[in-house]
Amino acid sequence: MPKLKLTYFDFDGGRGESIRLALVIGDIPFEDHRIPISEWPAYKDRTPLRQVPVMEIDGEIITQSNTINRLVGKMTGLYPDDALQAAYCDETMATVEDIVSKIVPTFFIEDEEEKRLAREALTAGPISLYLGRLETLLVQRGGNYFTGNRLSVADLKVFLWIRNLNSGILDHIPTDIVERVAPKLVEHLERISAQPKIAAYYQQRAGDSE
């Protein structure tokens, strides 16, 4: 088994979290190198693209979250062997990546009114569009999982984005937007959260932070 080290921010979400979850579900040991946001400016130049996540495999660096998702998915049985099912998995992950890339610029809007207008426009437009598309994909794939009728890294990535939207952490994006626009994604979130290894992992994380 290669030696794995994942570098990402020190919170339980974002682009690094599905990678952590896949490795936890697959019982694959890895070094979970978490960088406090306050230390990021000083650390940034040590990464190839000034971005995280970064995965080191026996010291060799791999960047790009979905590439790493596919890699750990293959290592853990959470990525399909079949070409079409793999395309479904990739499509779902790329869809989440697309919408996240549209939301991220609003983090840097300092004027609160400007941020509100930007996020309201996103909610009415792209966020609703992408939620609808993801719900359609879920239904087309059988209604429970995004590919192969079983858990994959695509489910982890969607679950984490929906959890983020529902959490209220994104000011000016209503916490009931998913329930209103794509209720089947809320059911999916509940299905994924209830997976025994995921539930146990977050229980342990909650215990660690007490």
Ligand X SMILES: N[C@@H](CCC(=O)N[C@@H](CS)C(=O)NCC(=O)O)C(=O)O
Chain contacts with ligand X (rule: CB under 6 A):
14-15, 44, 50-53, 64-66
What is the rounded distance in angstroms from the CA atom of residue 2 to the CA atom of residue 208?
A: 27
54 vs 127, which CB is nearer to ligand X? 54
119 vs 135, which CB is nearer to ligand X? 119
What is the rounded distance in angstroms from the CA atom of residue 130 to the CA atom of residue 84?
A: 21
9 vs 148, which CB is nearer to ligand X? 9
14 vs 77, which CB is nearer to ligand X? 14
Smallest gap from Cβ 165 to ligand X, in A, equals 16
Contact 73, 89 (CB under 8 A): yes
Contact 146, 180 (CB under 8 A): no
47 vs 195, which CB is nearer to ligand X? 47
- How would you write 169-191 as a 3-class SS string? CCCCCCCCHHHHHCHHHHHHHHH
Smallest gap from Cβ 11 to ligand X, in A, equals 10
Smallest gap from Cβ 100 to ligand X, in A, equals 8
Smallest gap from Cβ 142 to ligand X, in A, equals 27
Tell which phi-psi region holds residue 82, choosing left (phi > 0), alpha (psi between -120 and 50) or beta: beta
Smallest gap from Cβ 29 to ligand X, in A, equals 22
Smallest gap from Cβ 180 to ligand X, in A, equals 27
Contact 15, 69 (CB under 8 A): no
1 vs 42, which CB is nearer to ligand X? 42
Burial of 100 (0-12, 13-18, 19+ CB in 10 A): middle
CB count in 10 Å sphere of residue 119: 19
